[in-house]
Amino acid sequence: MPATAHPVIQAGDHKAYLEYALSQAEKSPPKPTNFRVGALVLDVDTNTILATGYTLELEGNTHAEQCCFLKLAKEHDVAEDQLGPLLPKNSVLYTTMEPCNKRLSGNLPCTERIVSLEGAIKTVYVGVLEPEKFVGQNEGRKKLEDAGIKVELVGGLEDRILAVATAGHKQTGEV
């Protein structure tokens, strides 16, 4: 089986897609300073997974969504900001955690990356809203919705998503 083979998931089975994104998050190295997140981009019209990504998959302080877009940009041999018109018009993003709206590192936040794809991503399916631990309140959802991108919470995996996301963090009560 080629390394890029993805499981066959029934169209519209959001929880199953999110679960696959979570399996990507599990590949991310546990660290005290970030969340382990997994993401994937799906072409809804053909029910084809275009890319997957997870936190720190690529070099630099990379986020899961960012890794998806960088991998797709590489595949199309363009810069990330040229990617939008090359993506299927009915693409959606699944991510275990709400896309970030602010980055302490000065990197471009994932919400801005999604918006800059110029409408290629129609809906963002998220498993949990971003905890406010690192950057304060996340206003990313509003930014996405203002750009005409739907944000939908897919329930049922919250506990597992958070357990994977915070595996490298100190537990409550530790100093």
Show which residues are catalytic. Answer: 65
CA 102 to chain centre: 15
Cα 54 from Cα 24, distance rounded (Å): 6
Nearer to Zn ion, 42 or 100 (CB): 100
Q: Quick one: CA torsion of 149, 136, 163, 129, rounded to 10 degrees?
A: -20
Nearer to Zn ion, 84 or 99 (CB): 99
Helix axes 158-165, 14-25, angle to 10 degrees: 20
Nearer to Zn ion, 89 or 136 (CB): 136
The least distance separating Zn ion from the CB of residue 146, rounded to whole angstroms, comes to 18
The least distance separating Zn ion from the CB of residue 28, rounded to whole angstroms, comes to 13
Cα 135 from Cα 71, distance rounded (Å): 26
The least distance separating Zn ion from the CB of residue 67, rounded to whole angstroms, comes to 10
Interface ranges with Zn ion (CB under 5 A): 63, 100, 110
